[in-house]
Structure 1
Amino acid sequence: MIDRRTLLAAVPLLATLPRAAWAQQLETAKVLCGFPAGGTTDAVSRRVADKLRGAYARVALVDNKAGAGGRLAAEEVSRSAPDGSTMLLTPASIVTLYPHIYTRLGYGPRDLRPVSTACHISFGFGVGPAVPESVRDIKGFLAWAKANPEQANYASPGAGTPPHFIGALLAKESGLDLRHVPYKGSAPGIQDLLGGQVAAMSSPVGDYLPHLKSGKLRLLATSGKQRSKLVPDVATYAEQGFPALTVSEWYGFFLPGKASDEVTQRAAAAIATAVSSPDVVEAFAQLGLEASANSPAELAKAVADETAAWGPVVKRVGFKPEA
């Protein structure tokens, strides 16, 4: 990930584009989002699309192609015209994790061309009223879980998601049987965490932010390489002795696989400009996201590296999807 200074430095890329690229400005650009309106992916899509309007294309809109955990949108973009008029905004897991857990995908590495990240997120492990107030870190939670095996569970936004695998790895690393309770999204899981129906939850850091100041929830760890800027007082898993749980996720833009270099670079420059806007940076922060753009080559390397890294994790956890 790059910092804001580097991100701003990417903006002059716009000036290097051929004049012909600007003369052929798109009439309409469509950002496909594989999740319903109102969620984080949708919010990121709309914030960036607002900035693309009038700059990258005369009209820029978001199309929520929800279904199959985000796979439907990826499939549609892979089949779209490679002229830059259709882009995918997706969490990394759709292109890095899913190839390891779904035997049949309607897209592959060559079908989606990396453009740029928009932001990144780390995950947190939080507890609610079902866990004693004295528990303030991961080792404290594990000691409590060992003493109370019938209550030792954790929620996640869904089976097969990065937060699910983080919790499963925590169980493997600690040697405890932590029961996974999957939900259809973060919101219902957080509600049950607040109500004490589940002991803990592995979920994006942003999900906890509204409840931390009130003391209704406690965040025990975050999953990034460094502490999250949003909760700097919370130690990472690695700091607490669990480096294998270092996981973060970016949201990235992709074009159809056959998009040209010129089309890809123009899209990347427009996205860098969009996510460097102060209002977008602030809006992302309120969602628990940190704005971050990079180059097509850097995103392609991230996809390759993270795809390779997820393989051993999925094998170790032994997860098999239902469909």
Structure 2
Amino acid sequence: MKRLRAIAVLAFVAATSAWAQNYPARPVNLVVPFPPGGMTDAVGRPLADGMRASLGQTVVVENLGGASGSIGSGRVAHAASDGYTILLGIWNTHVSVPKLVKLDYDVVKDFAPIIYMTDAPLLLTAHRSVPVSSFKELVEWLRANPDKASSGSAGIGSPPHLLDELVRKHTKTRFQTVHYRGAGPIMKDLMGAQIQMAFLNPATASPHVRSGVIKALGVTSAQRLKILPEVPTMAEAGFPGGMEFSLWSGLYAPKGTPPEIIDKLNRAAMDALASQKVRDLYAKLGLEIAPREKQTPQALAELQRTEIAKWWPIIDAAGIKPQ
């Protein structure tokens, strides 16, 4: 019996290895768990295009937004571990959402990391009709108009939600946070003055800052952005103690995906990130590509663990309650 069992195991391993060697035999589905028009979409589409040459197959982007990114993430968590459904995960989906939203999957145990890709700070923006030109003036205006302003968030547990809570706590101001399905809808309502302010990624906000429709009052990075050098850091702008935050991104597969397939996807993504076309596009959007030596499954797993350890206590201290 033991011999038969051993033969069966060896046969399964051989079959799996042969199947992985022939991967991919059809297009790969890249789930972007937010609507078109936001940072995640802006990262995902050039990446998918750039992975095609290495894989020899099309990588199809599927925008599946809703529930703070957990609908799309859950779809991948429960998908077959064959490498044909992968996820573009970000800080929201893999750090804050599992702390604040009841999920039917585990963001650590149910995913296999593929590659750590990009970092991006957020811009604190306001509609041009708001009578302020700096963060300090915004705080004064919010204090003079309690509960009258609204700020856009990409959902419960999203970075704008958390950063709004930090602003309220540290400046003793009162304003409403309105939750949207992604950055695209936030941008639409901010441009239309349906909301007055929002923390937005540079990919979404910078063109409209340059056009003058919205104002950028601060950036959540240690250094100023190259694409908007006139915008001060939040520390320079006067936020108590400074405010440093990076909206990172990475690729994930369902748990149990064979290592050979993870390796092929990793190499394809690394090739895409190394292309000058992708690098130039990301630079224009204010995105920083992770150093090549950190573009590994191990680096992404470690980053996620570190960020959970850092931000979950901050979420507790800010008083943000699970939904």
TM-score by length of 1: 0.81
Q: Is structure 2 residue 304 aligned with structure 1 residue 303?
A: yes
Which residue number corresponds to residue 106 of structure 1?
A: 105
Deviates more, 1:195-204 or 1:21-30: 21-30
In the alignment, the residues of structure 2 paired with residue 108 and residue 137 of structure 1 have an alpha-carbon distance, to the nearest angstrom, of 38
1:289 matched to 2:287? The reply is yes
Task: For residue 21 of structure 1, report the CA deviation from its aligned partner.
Answer: 10
State the match for 2:50 in structure 1: 51
Aligned to 1:15: none
Identify which range, 148-157 or 308-317, moves more after superposition: 148-157
Shift, 1:249, TM fit: 0.8
| Residue in structure 2 matched with residue 199 of structure 1 by the alignment | 196
What does residue 314 of structure 2 align with? 313
Provide Cα deviations, 1:168-190, integer angstroms capped at 9, x if missing partner.
10110112223323334334433
Q: Which moved more, 1:109-118 or 1:230-239?
A: 230-239
Give 5+ residue unaligned stretches, structure 1: 1-19
Q: Does structure 1 conserve the Cα–Cα contact (< 8 Å) formed by 2:225 and 2:286?
A: no
- Is the CA contact (8 Å cut-off) linking 1:25 and 1:58 kept in structure 2? no
Kindly indicate whether the alpha-carbon contact (under 8 Å) linking 2:92 and 2:157 is maintained by their aligned counterparts in 1.
Answer: no
Where do residues 71-82 of structure 1 align in structure 2 (5 Å cutoff)? 71-82=70-81
Going from structure 1 to structure 2, the CA distance change for 1:238 and 1:114 (only over 3 Å counts) comes to farther
Larger radius of gyration: 2
Q: Tell me the percent identity.
A: 30
Matched residue SS, 1:52: helix
Number of equivalences: 302
In structure 2, distance between residues paired with 1:320 and 1:299: 27
Of 273, 276, 300, which residue of structure 1 is paired with 2:274?
Answer: 276
Q: 1:179 aligns with which of 176, 182, 185?
A: 176
8 A contact 1:31–1:86 mirrored in 2? yes
3-state DSSP class of the match of 2:177? strand
- Quote the RMSD (CA, aligned, Å): 2.8
* Correspondences of 1:56-205 after superposition (within 5 Å): 56-132=55-131, 135-149=132-146, 151-205=148-202
Whichever residue aligns with residue 306 of structure 2, its letter is: D
**In 2: Cα distance, 1:159 partner to 1:22 partner:** 38
Letter in 1 for 2:252: F
CA distance, structure 2, for counterparts of residue 152 and residue 60 of structure 1: 41
Q: Is the 8 A contact 1:276 1:291 kept in 2?
A: no
Deviation at 1:247, TM superposition (A): 1.2
Contact 2:220 2:234 (8 Å CA) reproduced: yes
How much does 1:279 deviate?
1.3
Amino acid at match of 2:265: A
Q: Is the 8 A contact 2:49 2:59 kept in 1?
A: yes
Instruction: Tell me by how many angstroms 1:268 deviates.
Output: 1.7
